[in-house]
Amino acid sequence: MSVIYLLLTLSILVALIFFIAFIYSVKKGQYDDSYTPSVRMLFDDELIIKKQEKSTLD
């Protein structure tokens, strides 16, 4: 029976550690924007073309 208490305590402790790590990463901005970085390389060429068009118009 004491093994069950030990395992329960350890599992709650591990869960709390992972929860604290998750809260810490959310506060540091780890999950702010997960979509834009994956498609950023698709839009870089369009931004360069627009910048070149603006510089030729000036």
Domain ranges of the chain: 2-57
| Terminal-to-terminal C-alpha distance of the chain | 81
Q: How would you label 8-31 residue by residue, b for 16+ Cβ within 10 Å and e otherwise?
A: eeeeeeeeeeeeeeeeeeeeeeee
Per-residue pLDDT of the chain (58 residues; tens, 9 = 90+): 899 999 999 999 999 999 999 999 999 988 887 677 677 777 655 555 566 666 666 5
CA distance 7 to 10: 5
CA distance 12 to 14: 5
pLDDT given at position 37: 67
The whole-model pTM stands at 0.54
CA distance 36 to 39: 5
